[in-house]
């Protein structure tokens, strides 16, 4: 049996949630007995693995979950534990099985207080192996753990669904004439760089009057982004779709001409990788990504998209102009992105790498 302890798991939404659910499914698919210990409420979805849920105040649920993980880990037949971050290891006592911890990015501060550093180092010491999602994340983890315990394993994805005709019609209705339609999809927060895209769209509309922008996802930045679109005079060509389901997400990515998410660091918040770039690639979309963080691992600059300084408005606008005005290049990048994700980023290929991390 393999145990997974995580604070981030569906029905909660986000990249880490996608990764942890994918890991549980992939391990089950190769014949492993999997037991997930997760924060949050059960969504009633039937899974091929067991899930135990923990709610209530954070200190209580962390203690209860750590207690149950430790009890399960001491039972016969347990081959190891995966933890979604150092925070899920913090309350665990030493255990007689290998522990593999995943590292994403923002949870590894570059300037921690002495007490925060001690907390992280104590948690990290419990892990036999650390899997960083990108080169950028691995560099941050090295401030807390020996390099020989760190490996880079990019997050894989599952094959993406084909959208329904109804969902595709809804996306097609957003297009303006011959387009193009550019798309973003993520939790709406400043580090995603959607404000830079709005300014870029405003800068390009004189030359590209049919340009339209669709933004999927909810979050605390929605009101600011709506107001910005209105102030820039592009509210009529900017569509905020809110939180989308899997069918709507597939339709948005299948119906768009380009995916855009020029991430940047805002305070301590940074994008460690960006699974959504891979999901867009599955549908043949080139991507405009931000250089700060792990975007350069998810998008190959000049090959599967463009990677720019997401804090530089001129760079973002220039890259968007290039991808709009060179459709043949954009199409070639999208084709390369689709081939790459099918070759290198599916769970079928990745599951053995995760299992190997449990071995000495």
Domain ranges of the chain: 2-156+347-356, 165-344
Q: Which of the residues in the chain have pLDDT under 50?
A: none
Please give the pLDDT value at position 135.
Answer: 94
- Per 3-state DSSP, the chain is made up of helix, strand and coil in percentages (nearest 5) of 40, 20, 40
Prior bond to 180 cis, omega within 30?
yes
Rounded CA-CA distance 357/360 in Å is 8
Please give the pLDDT value at position 45.
Answer: 84
Contact 61, 54 (CB under 8 A): yes
Please give the pLDDT value at position 343.
Answer: 95
- Give the CATH class of 2-156+347-356: alpha beta
Please give the pLDDT value at position 339.
Answer: 98
Asked if the domains at 2-156+347-356 and 165-344 fall in one CATH topology, the answer is yes
Average pLDDT, the chain: 95
Rounded CA-CA distance 52/42 in Å is 8
Backbone angles phi, psi at 26, to 5 degrees: -65, -40
* Tokens read off for 291: 């250089």
| CA torsion through residues 347, 350, 352, 358, sign | negative
Please give the pLDDT value at position 148.
Answer: 94
CATH of domain 165-344: 3.40.50.2000
Burial 242-277 (b: 16+ CB within 10 A, else e): eebeebbbbbbbbbbbbbbbbbbbeeeebbbbbbbb
Please give the pLDDT value at position 269.
Answer: 85
């Amino acid at each position: 049996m393999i145990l997974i302890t995580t604070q981030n798991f569906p029905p909660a939404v986000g990249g880490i949630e996608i990764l942890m659910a994918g890991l549980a499914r992939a391990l089950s698919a190769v014949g492993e007995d999997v037991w997930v210990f997760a924060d949050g409420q059960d969504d009633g979805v039937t899974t091929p693995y067991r899930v135990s849920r923990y709610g209530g105040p954070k200190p209580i649920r962390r203690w209860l979950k750590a207690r149950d993980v430790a009890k399960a880990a001491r039972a016969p037949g347990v081959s190891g534990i995966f933890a979604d971050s150092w925070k899920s290891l913090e309350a665990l006592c030493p255990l007689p099985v290998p522990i593999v911890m995943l590292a994403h990015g923002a949870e590894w501060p570059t300037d921690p207080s002495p007490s925060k550093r001690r907390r992280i180092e104590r948690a990290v010491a419990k892990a036999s192996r650390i899997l960083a999602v990108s080169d950028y994340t691995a560099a941050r983890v090295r401030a807390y753990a020996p390099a020989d315990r760190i490996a880079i394993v990019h997050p894989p994805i599952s094959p993406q669904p084909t959208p329904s005709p109804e969902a595709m019609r809804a996306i097609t209705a957003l297009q303006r004439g011959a387009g193009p339609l550019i798309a973003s999809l993520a939790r709406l927060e400043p580090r995603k760089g959607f404000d830079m895209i709005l300014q870029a769209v405003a800068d390009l509309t004189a030359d590209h009057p049919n340009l339209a922008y669709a933004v999927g996802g909810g979050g605390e930045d929605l009101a600011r982004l709506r107001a910005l679109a209105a102030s820039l005079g592009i509210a009529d060509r900017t569509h905020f779709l809110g939180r989308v389901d899997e069918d709507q997400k597939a339709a948005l990515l299948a119906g768009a001409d380009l995916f855009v998410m020029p991430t940047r660091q805002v305070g301590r918040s940074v994008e460690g990788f960006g699974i959504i770039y891979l999901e867009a690639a599955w549908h043949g979309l080139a991507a405009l990504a931000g250089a700060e963080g792990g975007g350069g691992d998810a998008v190959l600059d000049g090959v599967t998209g463009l990677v720019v300084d997401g804090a530089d408005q001129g760079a973002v606008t220039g890259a968007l102009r290039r991808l709009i005005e060179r459709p043949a290049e954009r199409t070639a990048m999208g084709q390369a992105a689709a081939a790459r994700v099918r070759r290198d980023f599916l769970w079928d290929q990745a599951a053995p790498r995760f299992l190997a991390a449990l071995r000495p």
